[in-house]
Structure 1
Amino acid sequence: MDQRVVEFADSYEFGLDEYQLDGCQALADGGGVLVAAPTGAGKTVIGEFAVFLAVQESRKCFYTTPIKALSNQKYHDLVESYGAERVGLLTGDSSVNPDAQIVVMTTEVLRNMIYANSPTLSNLGYVVMDEVHYLADRFRGAVWEEVILGLDDSVAIVALSATVSNVESFGEWLRTVRGEFSVVVSERRPVPLFQHVMVGDKLLDLFDGVAPTAQELPSERMARVNKELLQVSKSEAFRVRDDSRRPRGRSGRGKSRHGRGSGSFGDATHPRFATRPIRRADMARVLARAKLLPAICFIFSRVGCDAAVGQVMGSGVVLTSRVEARALGEIADRHVAGLSFEDLEALRYEDFRQAFCAGVAAHHAGQLPAFKAIVEEGFVTGALKLVFATETLALGINMPARTVVLEKLVKYNGEAHVDITPGEYTQLTGRAGRRGIDTRGHAVVLWQSGMDPRAVAGLASRRTYPLKSSFAPTYNMAVNLTSILGRSDAREILNQSFAQFQTDKSVVEATRSGRQVTEDLTDARQAIECHLGDFMTYAAIREEISQLENSSAKERRAQWKSDVESAMRRLVPGDVIHVPRQGWCVVLAASNKEAGAQVISADHTVLRIRPHDLVAVPEPVTRIRVPRSFSLSDRKSRRNLLESMSDRLVSVDPEEPQPQPNQTDEEQARRISELRKELRAHPCHECEDRETHAVAAAKVIRLEREVARQHAKLAGRTNSLAFQFDAVCGVLSELGYLDGDELTDAGRMLRRIYNELDLVAAECVRRDVFHGLDAPQLAAVLSTLLYESRPSRDAPTPRMPDADSERAQSELRQVWLEVGRLERQHRLDRGREPDIGFAEVAWRWASGQELAKVLREGQLSAGDFVRWVRQVIDFAGQLANAVGPGDLRRTCREVVNSMRRGVVDADIDED
C-alpha cells in the first residue's frame, strides 16, 4: 500500500472500506479511476484523496459536480479541511478565489474553460467528476463526455458514479480514450436496507427473512415474499371480484380504469378501493411510532408535495420537540434574513416556517432555492422529520434519511404513466440509512389497490441501472472543437465518444440482417427475364418518375404544413380568419403548444380547428375585441361578438383565401416529361407481361434499397456521430460560421453562446433582431429562447409585453423557421420551438415591478420564477461577452443588473 494512502486513511476517524483503499491506491499508482458504489457508501473519499495528492504535489485539483447546490456543499467541506485561502468556487453565479489550488465548480464551467483554453487549466493534475452517471442526462449529459475527451492526457480523472450495471463497459471506454484507468466497484451498502409495505396503519415486511438489500452483498437468489402480504393481495382480489358481480347503475361506477403502468404496482385511480391507501397524516404518525423518522417521502409531483405538507399540517401533526422547533426556526430565519417583509409575504414564508418548525416540509424544483437550502440544512441536523420530495432529490444533494417512503411505484414521464424501473427504485431508496447514525435503513412502499407484492419484491431485489450516453454534436460544440482541433480532428474526437462506443456493439446484429437481405436480392433478380430487353433499366425509369412526383408533392406538403402550424401558433383571441365550409370565424382561444384554435362562425357554430382542417395559411384579416365577460352559453354575447365581426369585415372587405396551388416546379416537370418519352421508347414497354415483370422488378428495387440502407446503417453506426457533425458543419458553412476549416467572426461569436437554440440566437444577433430594444424588452425576447412551458389547461394565452418586443420575437421566430428549413435539408432535427410563456414575467421583473405582483401575474411558483430569471441573466451575460462592444452589449448588461435584485439576488448570494 502506498504510504500516501496510509497517511490519508489515518486522517479519518473511521477505517476506510476495502474498495475505498483500492480506489485511492489506483490513483496513487498514477492512473485514473472509475468508482461505482451505492448512494451513501462513501465514494467521495476517493475524490478527497485526489485533493490530498494535488496538495502534496503542489498541483491543482478541480472538483466538479452536476448541480450548483452540490458544488456549494463540497466547497464548504473542503474549506473546513484546507482553509478558505486554498479553496475556490466557480458556479456561473459565484466566483470565489478562482485561482486557488483547489477549485470546486459545476461541470459546465470546466467544459467552458477547456473550450476557451483558459490559463486556469495550467498545472492541473486531478479532476474529480462527482455523479459522473449524469452523462446519461438527456439535456446536459454531453458536457461530461466533452470534459473527459477534452482534458489533457496528463490530468488524472476520478469518476464517481452510482452503481451502474454496465460499469465494465464504461470503464473500457475510459481506458480507450484516457489510457490507464482502473475500475473499482462496490455493491455493499454500508447501512443495510430493510424493505416494508405499509398496508393501512400496519407496517409489514416485504420479504420473509432477510431482505436482499439487508445483506452485506446482493444475493444471487431472490428472497421469498412475506406470506402475510400475499394474503392481503389475495383477500383484496376476492373482495373486488365479489364487488364486480353486483349490479351497476347507468353511471358505470365500479368499472376498473387501469392503464397506468403495468398494473402490477396498483392503480390509485381505481374508483372503488379494496384496500384504501393510508392518509399522509396517518402515515407520519405510523412512522413516528415505529421510530422510522427522519424520512423522505417521494411523490412524483410538485403540487402533490406541497399538498402533502398542507394535509399533514391540517391534521395537527407536530413531529418536533420545542428545542428542535426553535433550532429549525433559527435556521429558516437566517437563510431569509436578506429578504424584505413584502417579499416574504409574497412567498408565504410564515406558512412554510410553521410547517418547517413542526418538522414537515416539501423539497422540489418549484421551490425558492433559499427554501430548499433551509430544508436541506434542517434535515441534516435531524430536527426536520418528514420531507415530501420529487425524485430530483435523489440526485446529488446529501440528504440521507433513516427511512425512504414511496407513495406510488408509477410515475408520469411526460407522455404516459409508467412503472418506475429497478434502477430508479435503487436510486430513490439509496437515501435510506445514515452512515454513522443508523444501524439499518428502511424502504417503505405504500400499499395501492391491485398491487402485486411479488412485482414489488422483484423491483426491490434487482439493482440494474444501465448507463447510456446522450452525447450528440451541437453547433456550439462544433465551432469550439473546430477552433481547438481543426475539423478533421474534431470529427475524430466525436468517434471516440461513449455514445459511439456503445453504438458499435450492435454492428454484428446489423451485419447478420444485411446478409439475409442480400440473399433475398439474389433470388429476386433471377425471377426477372424479358425477351424484349433489359427490364431493370425500364423499371429504373418508372421508379425515377414515381420518386420525382412523390418527392415534389411531399416537400410541398411538408412546407405548407409548417407554414400553417406557425401561423396557427401566432393566432390570438379576436383574430378573424377564414375556415373552409364555415366562412369567416372569430378565434376564441388558441394553443401555442398544439397549433390549434377554438373558433365561432357567423352561424354560431363553435368548433376546434387543426392544421389539417385548413386549405390555406390562416392569416387574420382583422381583429376584434373579445370581452372578458364573453360567455359561449350566452346567446346575446355570441350575437354581439358576431355582429362586431360582420361590421369589421364590411370595413376591410377581405377576399376569401385560395387553396394552396398544387404545382410541380418547372425543372421537375420537364424531367418527368423527358422520362415518360424515354419510357415509351423502351423495348420492354411493348411486352405483354410488362406489369407482371414490373411487380418482380419493384421487389428487386426494394431489396436493393434495403441492402444500401443496411450498408449505410453499418457505416452510420461506426461513424454516426461524425456524420451528424458533418451535417452540423454543413449548416454552419451555409450560414457563414465556418469557412472551410476556419471559423469566421460569426463562428467566434457562436463559441461563447451556450444555449439549446444557440444558432438561432447567433443569427438574431447578426440580423439585428435585438436592435432598439430596451433592457426589459430584451429580457422578454431572450426568455423565448430559454423557457419551456409546463403543460397546463388553465394557463392563460401568453403574449409579448409590447409592440417592440412582439416585433423582435416575430423576427426571431422567422429566423427559427429559416434555420429549421436548413436543418431539414441537412437531415438534422429542428431545434425546439421558441416559447413566449415567460416573456411578460421577464419584462415585468426587469422593469422593476415588485415580487408579489410578478408572481401573481405570471402564475409561477417562486422557485420556477427564480430559476428562469437566473437563466435569462446567465444568457444575457453570455451575449454581452459574445457580441463585442456596442449598444447590444450595454443593453445585455442592463438586463443582468436590472434582474439581479431582491429574491433573485438573495438566492445568488445564498449560493
Structure 2
Amino acid sequence: MTHLDDFLARQAFALDPFQLRACDALQAGHGVLVCAPTGAGKTIVGEFAVHLALAQGTKCFYTTPIKALSNQKFNDLVAVYGADAVGLLTGDNSINADADVVVMTTEVVRNMIYANSPALQGLSHVVMDEVHFLADRFRGAVWEEVILHLEPEVSIVALSATVSNAEEFGDWMQTVRGDTAVIVDDHRPVPLQQHMMVGTRLFDLFDPRTPRSGRTGSPRRPEVNPELMRYIKHRTLTLDSDYDDRGRGRNRGRGAPRRNNAVPRPNLIRQLDREGLLPAIGFIFSRAGCDGALHQCLRSGISLLDEHHARQVDEVVDRYVAELSPADVEVLGVAEWRIGLRRGFAAHHAGLLPTFRHCVEELFTRGLVRMVFATETLALGINMPARSVVLERLVKYNGEAHVDLTPGEFTQLTGRAGRRGIDVEGHAVVLWTPDIVPTEVAGLAGSRTFALRSSFAPEYNMAVNLIDRLGLSGSREILHRSFAQFQADRSVVGQAHKIDEAQRALRRIDGELATAADRRGLEPGDPTLGGAHGEGAVDGVPYAGFLGYVALREDIRARERQLKMARRRSDLASTSDDLAALKRGQVIGLYGNRHRGVAVVIEPASNRDDPKPMVVSEDGWCGRLGVRDFLNPPEVLGSMRLAKHIDRRTGRGRRDLASALRSTGIEAPRGRQQRKRADAADDRELAQLRAQLRSHPAHGLDNSDDLFRLAERRNRLVRDIAKLDSNIAARTSTLRVTFDRVVGVLTDLGYLRTVDVDGTSTVEVTEPGRVLGRIYSESDLLVSECLREQVWDDLPPHELAAVVAALVFEARRDTYSGVDAMPGSAGLRAALADTVRIWQDLTEVESRHRLTPTREPDTGFSVAVALWASGRSLTEALAAAGDRGSLLSPGDFVRWNRQVVDLLEQVAKSVEPGSRLARTARSAVGSIRRGIVAVELS
C-alpha cells in the first residue's frame, strides 16, 4: 500500500480528480501548484503533504497568511494527528515548536530561513496556503522570499485561488524550484448561482433560459435576466418616495441622504429565510457598518433561534468568556453580545476581540448563528462556509480611496457560498441600489479569475539578510529570479517584439515617403520640405524638416484637446457647484439632449459630491438632474412660489405644476452662448505653435494626399517606439535600481561596508547590520538606528512599551498630534523626541537616495499601552486610545498590543544579552501580557 492509498483510506469522501492528480505528483517527489475555486477542497492536498512527511519521518511546515487561519489549521491537524505531532508558531504563540508538523504564518518561516534556524533540518514539505497573497502590496514579498530561499530538496505545495495566469506562475516556480506540477481546476463542487435582490424580491441575475455563470465551459456568456431589468426600470420611477434613510417607508426627511440599501436588514433576513438561503454572510466593508447592521437586527426583535438552540449558544459563549475577569466582561459588553448570538446574529471583523471572533466562527459552523455581518477579512480562508453570501455594495475603501470591487475580490467573497456535502448549490445575492448596474454585476460574476501580480520589492531587512547570506552579486541574482522580474522579463520579450515590428514598419514608411515626394516632383533639398530645418535625410530620416512640420500640426491638435479637456473639467466642477446651490422654487433652463425648455426646482440636492436636484419641467416631466445633463453650468432664469406640499407622484399633480411654471412667462433663451473659444484664443502656447506652423516652409503644401498621411504614420510609430523603450527600461531596472538605492542608504549609515578581498571590492554586513537583520518591522531601520544611538536604554518598562508603540501603531484616521502633546515623564517625552529626531535624519538620507521615506512615528497608542503596562484598568487603557470620545475597540487594543509585544521581543533578542535594555524589554512584555491580552496571546 502506498502512502497515498493509506491517506485515501482515512478520508470520509472520495477525492476529486484534481486532488488526486496533485497528490500523485507530491508522492512522486514533485512540488505542486494547485489553483482551484474557493471551497473546492485545495487544502486536502496540503493535508496529504502533512501525511507524507509524517509517513517518511520528515518534517512539514504548513504556512498561512493570517494568524486566525493558522490557529484554525492547527486545531484541524491536532484533531487528526494528535497534540504531540503538531505545533504552532505565529509570533504570538509558540506551541510544541519542535513537532514534526508545525503550522505558522509565512513570516515565521521566512525569519527561520534568514536566521538559519535548526528547525529547518529535516524539512521535506512546505505548504503555502493562499499563496496568491504574494500579490498583497504590504506583505506579499514574504511569499517570494520563502519560495526563493528554501533548499531545493524541499517540496513546496502552493495552494491558490483561481488565477488567470496560473501557468505563468507555475513556469516561474519551475524555473526557481525545479520540477513543479501545475494543476488548475475551474470546477466548483457546489455550483454558485448569482442573484440580485430588488426590494425584497429575489431575481436570478442571469436569464434562466441561458447557461448560468456557475457552470464552466458554457458555449456563450449568459444574458442578464430581462425580467430583472424590467422590474428595476419600473421601480426606478418610484424609488425616491419608497424609503427613507432608515428604510422605514415614505416621508423621508428633506435633505436626508439615501441609504445604499433601501431594504431594512430585518426584512432582508426574513426574505432570505423564506427563500431557504440561511445561513448567510453579509459582507459590509466597514466595521461600523457591520456593528450597525447587527444593532438594527437587535432593535427589530427578529430572532432566528428557538430556546433550545439559544441554550446551546450560552454553553459555547460561557466556555469562551470563562477566562475573562468580571470587570472585563462588563467593559467588553459580553451581555449585549450574547443577546445577539442567542437570536442567531453576529458581527465579525478585526475590531472584535479575537475570542469573540473565534466564538462566532464556532457557532456559525455549528449552525447556531444564522446571519453574520462581516468585513472582507472573513473571505480569506477562514472556514465559515454559508449557504449564501450577500453583498450590499460593490465598492470598498482600500486604505486610500473608495474603489470598485475587482473580479478577483468578487469571486473570493462569493466563494464562501455553498457548503460541500450540505448544499446542492450556493447563492450569491447582490442588493440592488440605484448606483448598481446589473450588467456590470454580471461582468464581475462572469469574470471568474484574476491575474496574479508580484509585489516583490527590496527592503532594508531583506537587503542585509540577502547580502549576509549571498553577498552583493548573489543578492542581485535573487532579485533577478523573483516572480516580479520573471513577469517583467516576459513582458519585455513582448515589448521588444513590438519594437522590432515598429522599426520594420518605419523603414517601409521611409521608402513610401520618398516615393510620395517623388510623385509630387519634390527633391530632398526642396525648401518646401523644410529648408534649413532639414534637407534630404538627417540621421537616416528622410525629409526631417517636413516631418517636423507634421509634428507641429500634431502638437497643435494635442494642445487643443488638452484645453478642451481642461474646459470640460472646469465646466463639470462649476456645474456641480451650481447644482448643489440651487434652491427650491428657482427656475432654470434646460439645454441637454434629453430635456429642453425651463424647469422648476422642487427638491434641492442633498449630496454635494454628486448633486442631483429634483425638478419638474414645463412639459410635465419630473426627475433628478445631474452634472451629465448639462453642457454648461445651469442658469437661474427666475423663481416661482411653491406650495408647502407638492403632488409630484401623480400625473395630474405634475401637469398642474407644469402649467403653473408656464404661466410665469419665464422662457429659456434661444441659442444659449457657450464659452468655448475664448480659452483657446487666449492660450499663449497654442498661439506660439500656430505661429511656427504658419512660418514653416512646408505650410504651403497641399495636405490632401499620401505625403501627410505617411508622415503622420511615421511620427506615430516613432512615439510608439520611444514609449516601448521607456517601458522596457522601467521594467528591467526597477528592482535593481531600488535595491542599489537601499544598499546606498545602508552603506551611508554604516550597516554595510565596502571591503577589499584579494584585490576584489565587495560589500559585507557590519555588526549594526546584523542587528537590523533581526528586526522585522515596517520601521526596521528606524528601530535599528534608535538601538544604535541608545536613546531607549534608560526607560522603565511601561515607557519603553510606549515608545515602541509609536513605531508600530498606525491610526485609522489622521489623528497624529505630535510628541509635544504626549503626557508622561520627562524621560518618555525626551525618548520620543529623540526617536522623531532620528526619524527626520533617516528620511533625509532616504530622500537623498530617492527612496520612499520611512513612516513617521505615531503616538496614538502610546498612552494606552503605557497605562496598560503600568497595571491600569482596561477601561482606562481603552479610553486613552479612543478617537473622538469613543473607546478603542477591544480587537484593535489586543492587536496593537500584540504588535508591541512582537517588536519588544525582537528588541530583547537584538541587543546585548543581559543588557539593561534587554531586561527592560522582557519586563515590558510581561507587563503587557495580562488580562484580555494574556488570554488572547495564550
The TM-score normalised by the length of structure 2 is 0.72
Asked if residue 876 in structure 1 is aligned to residue 904 in structure 2, the reply is yes
CA contact (8 A) 2:745 2:849 kept: yes
Query: What is residue 50 of structure 1 aligned with on the other side?
Result: 49
Q: Give the 3 Å change call, closer, same or farther, for CA 271–905 of structure 1 in structure 2.
A: closer
CA contact (8 A) 2:261 2:392 kept: no
TM-superposed CA distance for 1:137, in Å, is: 1.1
- Structure 2 distance, partners of 1:289, 1:711, is 61
- Structure 1 distance, partners of 2:197, 2:816, is 35
Query: What is residue 847 of structure 1 aligned with on the other side?
Result: 870
Q: Deviations over 1:416-445 (max 9, x none)?
A: 332212111111010001111111111111
> What code does the residue aligned with 1:23 have?
A
CA contact (8 A) 2:816 2:859 kept: no
Q: Deviations over 1:603-651 (max 9, x none)?
A: xxxxxxxxxxxxxxxxxxxxxxxxxxxxxxxxxxxxxxxxxxxxxxxxx
TM-superposed CA distance for 1:6, in Å, is: 3.0
CA contact (8 A) 1:254 1:272 kept: no
Query: What is residue 718 of structure 1 aligned with on the other side?
Result: 732
Superposition pairs of residues 184-199 of structure 1, within 5 angstroms = 184-199=183-198
Asked if residue 834 in structure 1 is aligned to residue 857 in structure 2, the reply is yes
Matching residue within 744, 751, 758 for 2:773: 751
TM-superposed CA distance for 1:717, in Å, is: 2.5
SS, match of residue 838 in structure 1: helix
Query: What is residue 346 of structure 2 aligned with on the other side?
Result: 361
Query: What is residue 801 of structure 1 aligned with on the other side?
Result: 823
> What code does the residue aligned with 1:837 have?
G
CA contact (8 A) 1:500 1:719 kept: no
> What code does the residue aligned with 2:771 have?
M
Query: What is residue 933 of structure 2 aligned with on the other side?
Result: 904
Matching residue within 847, 866, 870 for 1:824: 847
> What code does the residue aligned with 2:868 have?
W
- Structure 1 distance, partners of 2:288, 2:321, is 23
Matching residue within 471, 485, 495 for 2:470: 485
Asked if residue 203 in structure 1 is aligned to residue 202 in structure 2, the reply is yes
Asked if residue 462 in structure 1 is aligned to residue 464 in structure 2, the reply is no
Q: Give the 3 Å change call, closer, same or farther, for CA 797–341 of structure 1 in structure 2.
A: farther
TM-superposed CA distance for 1:213, in Å, is: 5.9
- Structure 2 distance, partners of 1:212, 1:719, is 47
Matching residue within 424, 434, 440 for 1:449: 434
Matching residue within 395, 398, 401 for 1:416: 401
Q: Give the 3 Å change call, closer, same or farther, for CA 433–707 of structure 1 in structure 2.
A: closer
SS, match of residue 744 in structure 2: helix
TM-superposed CA distance for 1:512, in Å, is: 7.3
Superposition pairs of residues 670-709 of structure 1, within 5 angstroms = none
RMSD: 3.2
> What code does the residue aligned with 1:26 have?
A
Q: Give the 3 Å change call, closer, same or farther, for CA 37–772 of structure 1 in structure 2.
A: same
Query: What is residue 277 of structure 2 aligned with on the other side?
Result: 292
Query: What is residue 395 of structure 1 aligned with on the other side?
Result: 380
- Structure 2 distance, partners of 1:53, 1:474, is 36
Query: What is residue 916 of structure 2 aligned with on the other side?
Result: 887
Matching residue within 885, 895, 917 for 1:867: 895
Superposition pairs of residues 432-831 of structure 1, within 5 angstroms = 432-508=417-493, 511=496, 714-740=728-754, 741-791=763-813, 799-802=821-824, 803-831=826-854
Q: Give the 3 Å change call, closer, same or farther, for CA 315–22 of structure 1 in structure 2.
A: same
TM-superposed CA distance for 1:160, in Å, is: 0.4
Asked if residue 17 in structure 1 is aligned to residue 16 in structure 2, the reply is yes
Q: Give the 3 Å change call, closer, same or farther, for CA 444–734 of structure 1 in structure 2.
A: same
CA contact (8 A) 2:280 2:388 kept: yes
> What code does the residue aligned with 1:160 have?
L
- Structure 2 distance, partners of 1:750, 1:45, is 39
Superposition pairs of residues 227-242 of structure 1, within 5 angstroms = 227-239=226-238
SS, match of residue 61 in structure 1: strand
> What code does the residue aligned with 2:861 have?
F
Q: Deviations over 1:647-702 (max 9, x none)?
A: xxxxxxxxxxxxxxxxxxxxxxxxxxxxxxxxxxxxxxxxxx9xx99xxxxxxxxx
CA contact (8 A) 2:125 2:157 kept: yes
CA contact (8 A) 1:193 1:211 kept: no
SS, match of residue 84 in structure 2: helix
- Structure 1 distance, partners of 2:834, 2:819, is 20
TM-superposed CA distance for 1:710, in Å, is: 7.5
SS, match of residue 832 in structure 1: coil
CA contact (8 A) 1:233 1:452 kept: no
Q: Give the 3 Å change call, closer, same or farther, for CA 212–313 of structure 1 in structure 2.
A: farther
Q: Percent identity?
A: 54
Q: Give the 3 Å change call, closer, same or farther, for CA 218–210 of structure 1 in structure 2.
A: farther
TM-superposed CA distance for 1:716, in Å, is: 4.7
Query: What is residue 122 of structure 1 aligned with on the other side?
Result: 121
Q: Give the 3 Å change call, closer, same or farther, for CA 785–93 of structure 1 in structure 2.
A: same
Superposition pairs of residues 303-342 of structure 1, within 5 angstroms = 303-342=288-327
Q: Give the 3 Å change call, closer, same or farther, for CA 321–728 of structure 1 in structure 2.
A: same
- Structure 2 distance, partners of 1:796, 1:829, is 21
Q: Deviations over 1:205-227 (max 9, x none)?
A: 21222786665435352212222
What are the ranges of 5 or more consecutive residues in structure 1 without an aligned counterpart? 244-252, 256-268, 531-688, 694-702
TM-superposed CA distance for 1:353, in Å, is: 0.8
- Structure 2 distance, partners of 1:894, 1:708, is 61
> What code does the residue aligned with 1:335 have?
Y
TM-superposed CA distance for 1:841, in Å, is: 1.2
- Structure 2 distance, partners of 1:793, 1:757, is 19
Query: What is residue 623 of structure 1 aligned with on the other side?
Result: none
Query: What is residue 264 of structure 2 aligned with on the other side?
Result: 279
- Structure 2 distance, partners of 1:211, 1:348, is 50
- Structure 2 distance, partners of 1:708, 1:822, is 33
Q: Give the 3 Å change call, closer, same or farther, for CA 796–114 of structure 1 in structure 2.
A: closer
User: Mean Cα displacement is larger for which, 714-723 or 783-792?
Assistant: 714-723
- Structure 1 distance, partners of 2:261, 2:253, is 15
- Structure 2 distance, partners of 1:405, 1:807, is 51
> What code does the residue aligned with 1:135 have?
L
TM-superposed CA distance for 1:276, in Å, is: 6.8
- Structure 1 distance, partners of 2:466, 2:97, is 25
Q: Give the 3 Å change call, closer, same or farther, for CA 213–187 of structure 1 in structure 2.
A: farther
TM-superposed CA distance for 1:3, in Å, is: 3.6
Q: Give the 3 Å change call, closer, same or farther, for CA 117–322 of structure 1 in structure 2.
A: same
TM-superposed CA distance for 1:354, in Å, is: 0.8
> What code does the residue aligned with 1:892 have?
A
Tell me the matched-pair count: 715
TM-superposed CA distance for 1:121, in Å, is: 0.6
TM-superposed CA distance for 1:238, in Å, is: 4.3
Asked if residue 343 in structure 1 is aligned to residue 328 in structure 2, the reply is yes
TM-superposed CA distance for 1:401, in Å, is: 0.5
Q: Deviations over 1:150-193 (max 9, x none)?
A: 10000000000011111111111101100100111111111111
- Structure 2 distance, partners of 1:254, 1:861, is 32
- Structure 2 distance, partners of 1:882, 1:284, is 53
Larger Rg: 1 or 2? 2
Asked if residue 217 in structure 1 is aligned to residue 245 in structure 2, the reply is no
TM-superposed CA distance for 1:511, in Å, is: 4.5
Greater RCO (CA < 8 Å, at least 6 residues apart): 1
CA contact (8 A) 1:5 1:21 kept: no
CA contact (8 A) 2:808 2:900 kept: yes
- Structure 1 distance, partners of 2:134, 2:790, is 36
TM-superposed CA distance for 1:506, in Å, is: 3.0
